[in-house]
Amino acid sequence: MPFAFINGFNMFYKEQGTNNVPVLFIHGFPLSSDIWDEQLNTLSNKTKVIAPDLRGFGKSEFTDVLYSMELFAYDLKSLLDSLNIKKVILAGLSMGGYIAFSFYRLFQTSVYAMMLIDTRAGADNEVGKKNRILLAQRARMGEKEKIVNEWVEKLLSSQTIKTKHDIVSKIRQIIFDTQSETIARVSLAMMERHDSTSLLKDITCPTLVMVGEEDKLTPVEEARLMASQIRNAKLEIIKHASHLTCIESPEQVNKALIKFLSDL
């Protein structure tokens, strides 16, 4: 799998399939492109799929800069430019959705369609902001093990945790492998992100909003509200999943993604 040297660092990305407008899968926090393995394997039979590790995550290099959702959006645009891709379908999960909103704000004409998965448009409230600062401090103090345990609980449904040990260990490993300084800087970057609520009415491309029925971080009601404010949005609620629908209920997610893509 290749690396692209863009914006002063080596970005790792997975690329499979051919034809059509590519789907760009943007992972959440504190994760990596490995969360999309089931989507890449299935969708690449039908279309081109690209899944990068964001700057500082997975196999992509960390750089000593101020992180922001816009920085990630610029990185993704540079990756697409380096691959000579003019139009893209964005599929962002959670933080990946925050980045998709930034990308849309900056490069609207390059966006053919969007899939907003287990994400929200609103900014953090005061309690949320305090928690981001606390997480950054704890990551820098070396509390990785505790952070891994807490995030597994937040990201996966209790049923997944009880019965799907392969998924739990995969997610544990991805979080454990994420550098503490990446966790710290990106936690603060999410705290500073724009409120994208007012953007929703201006989104004109076809959009799929997807959410796990048991999502504790970005609940169904938020997804429903978000979908109602986007002109061309469809809403899909994924059963037997919490926040990481793509890995907890991959068959249902893939079916919905394929249906959405074939209707475009």
Nearest to 101 by CA among 68, 131, 132, 65: 68
- From residue 11, alpha-carbon distances to 7, 71, 88, 93 in Å are 9, 13, 18, 19
For ligand MLT, which residue of 49, 91, 95, 113 counts as binding (CB under 6 A)?
A: 95
Class of residue 198 by CB neighbours under 10 A (exposed 0-12, middle 13-18, buried 19+): exposed
> With contacts defined by CB under 6 A, how many residues of the chain interact with ligand MLT?
7
Q: Are 55 and 63 in contact (CB under 8 A)?
A: yes
> Does 67 interact with ligand MLT (rule: CB under 6 A)?
no
CB of 139 to ligand MLT, least distance (A): 13
Cα gap 37→115, rounded to integer Å: 17
Using Cβ positions, the residue closest to ligand MLT within the complex turns out to be 28
Q: Residue 55 or 243: which CB sits closer to ligand MLT? A: 243
Binding string to ligand MLT for residues 180 to 209, with x set by CB under 6 A, is what? ----------x-------------------
> Do 248 and 164 form a contact (C-beta atoms < 8 A)?
yes
Instruction: State how far the Cα of 73 lies from the Cα of 96, in Å rounded to an integer.
Output: 10
Interacting positions 143-182 with ligand MLT (CB under 6 A): none
**SS3 label, residue 120:** coil
For ligand MLT, give the closer residue by CB, 29 or 72.
29
Asked if residue 217 binds ligand MLT (CB under 6 A), the reply is yes
User: Would you say 246 or 256 has its CB closer to ligand MLT?
Assistant: 246
Q: Pick from 4, 23, 24, 28: which binds ligand MLT (CB under 6 A)?
A: 28
Cβ proximity to ligand MLT: between 151 and 206 the closer is 151
Please answer whether residues 91 and 21 qualify as being in contact, where contact means their C-beta atoms are separated by less than 8 angstroms: no
Nearer to ligand MLT, 47 or 102 (CB): 102
Q: Interface residues for ligand MLT in 225-254 (CB under 6 A)?
A: 243
Residues 6+ away with beta carbon under 8 Å from 211: 117, 118, 218, 219, 220, 222, 223, 235, 236, 237, 238, 245
CA distances to 51, 52, 174, 229, 238 from 234, in Å = 23, 26, 31, 11, 13
**Residue 262 CB, nearest approach to ligand MLT (Å):** 27
If the CB atoms of residues 28 and 52 are measured against ligand MLT, the closer one turns out to be: 28
Q: Is 94 in the site for ligand MLT (CB under 6 A)?
A: yes
Interface positions with ligand MLT (CB under 6 A): 28-29, 94-95, 190, 217, 243
